């Protein structure tokens, strides 16, 4: 993302622009200050020419409306909050929680990998957030390191729900959405999707964070999609010898091509991640009790039976 140069705007609606954070194919993101709430926010401004583009404008509008419609609806400690959405003839923008730690992309290089226990802890938290979204009828459909923000320590926040599909309302799935390297076989084949597509994609993210490489190495999208549907990737431990068998097995099950062999529920995925953290090999490296262990201990208490994760 290009972060160079001064901001092009001084204000976006009622928000004072502090600096430009970056830009993408359809939007620019600014760090702004909400003077009324007394907090910094990230404001995603959508390019007008993209929204009105004769060929892809309808898709871009649908993605914007999808993300905007979730404002205030997914309140979870590991989901970046959407505070507001504004659509005008001149400007359309979404106001989001500002997460200062950057994305997990910075930890996907072989020479900049995180400790294994920290990665497992982050994926556990992502799995709980996506389970929460799924219980609210939302499947993200574009899980990748760039859409997982680091809030500090092992705390992460899932962001960018523009590609999401929802069980309520308009259930038409826009095809061709997502990042090819992280797509599930079902997404590649453009069949009806459910939460298991996000489980697969989070498995790919876990693989990349553990090893510094993607499970499939392809020169183009066609080759990538072929490998996703037909090739079995090497286990993460083939790149990083200290990865325990339990973690290899979790990644393998999350990335199963066959839905029947993949994790059926987020709960099952989360449980295996928590058990891996409890194992002697990973627990011996930790200096403190993992958040996942605290969470599961509380969850087992009858008093908390009716409490949501959040």
Cite the active site residues.
142
Q: Which residue has the tokens 């390019």?
A: 47
């Amino acid at each position: 993302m290009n972060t160079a140069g001064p901001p092009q705007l001084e204000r976006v609606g009622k928000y004072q622009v502090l600096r430009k954070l970056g830009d993408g194919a359809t939007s620019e993101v600014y760090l702004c200050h909400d003077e009324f709430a007394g907090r910094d926010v990230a404001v995603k401004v959508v390019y007008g020419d993209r929204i009105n583009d004769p060929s892809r404008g309808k898709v871009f509008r649908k993605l914007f409306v999808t993300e905007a419609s979730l404002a205030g609806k997914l309140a979870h400690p590991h989901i970046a909050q959407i505070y507001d959405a504004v659509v005008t003839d001149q400007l359309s923008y979404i106001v989001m929680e500002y997460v200062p730690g950057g994305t997990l992309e910075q930890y996907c290089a072989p020479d900049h990998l995180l400790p294994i226990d920290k990665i497992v802890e982050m994926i556990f938290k992502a799995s709980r957030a996506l389970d929460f979204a799924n219980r609210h009828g939302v499947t993200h459909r574009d899980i990748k390191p760039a859409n997982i923000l680091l809030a500090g320590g092992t705390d992460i926040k899932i962001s960018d729900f523009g590609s999401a599909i929802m069980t309520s309302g308009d259930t038409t799935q826009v095809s061709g959405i997502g990042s090819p390297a992280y797509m599930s076989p079902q997404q590649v084949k453009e069949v009806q999707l459910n939460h298991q597509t996000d489980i697969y994609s989070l498995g790919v993210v876990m693989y990349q964070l553990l090893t510094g490489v993607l499970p499939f190495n392809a020169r183009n999208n066609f080759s990538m999609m072929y490998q996703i549907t037909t090739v079995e990737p090497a286990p993460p431990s083939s790149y990083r010898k200290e990865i325990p068998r339990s973690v290899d097995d979790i990644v393998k099950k999350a990335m199963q091509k066959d839905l029947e062999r993949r994790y059926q529920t987020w709960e099952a995925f989360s449980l295996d991640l928590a058990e891996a953290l409890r194992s002697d090999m990973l627990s011996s490296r930790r200096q403190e009790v993992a958040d996942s262990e605290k969470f599961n201990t509380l969850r087992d208490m009858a008093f908390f039976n009716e409490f949501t994760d959040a």
